[in-house]
Structure 1
Amino acid sequence: MNKKILIIALALALPLTVAAFPGGHDGDFKGHKGDRVEHLAKKLELTAEQKEQLKQVFEEQHAKREALRQETDQRMQTVLTPEQMTKFEEMKKQRHEKWQKRHQEGNGQSAD
């Protein structure tokens, strides 16, 4: 039972930790990989080489997060019942839709 709770808690917390990492938002930073590099380039006066290196760092980190997410989902499937997994997938879908709506509103786009 404790293992179930831990895995569910990790799966629910993962999106929150990912959202916490984009960095400080001071109006001109939107959180996209390219925007993030450009924001840092402007604030830190990065060279072209540094910008390319940071793009690579962010791309590698994104791939690692995606792999961890997939591994977590696979491990959860071994713990949860099919009904629980269906509910969990619906929770993820709803959370993603909320995130998309907030993200689109934050960029001045309509949610349509």
Structure 2
Amino acid sequence: MDQLSAEARILAAIRAIPRGRVAGYGEVARRAGLPGRARLVARILAGNGDDALPWHRVLRSDGRIAFAENSRGWREQARRLRAEGVEVVRGRVRMVRPDADLDAALWGPSA
């Protein structure tokens, strides 16, 4: 079995974030099997041109939107998150402790 590239694994981890949920850059890296590579996640997102990718679900570890406050990207990310029912207050989302693995996040009991 061929190993997926780091970029493919990161993009798959981002696509797996359920609607109405968020994850930090570091959590995405961990889910992709690349712990400690949060900056790689940010670089891949910055260069991504796939309009279907739910990039807006990826935030800083403290729940803040990474774009400059009130920039076009900041406003768009906040708009998309709110459209999914995520509460965004002054560019920040209340982050919950990441689940142990993706299966638990998707199918485990609600907090």
Tell whether the structures are fold-level matches, with TM greater than 0.5. no
TM superposition score normalised by structure 2: 0.29
* Greater Rg by CA: 1
TM superposition score normalised by structure 1: 0.29
Which structure has greater helix proportion? 1
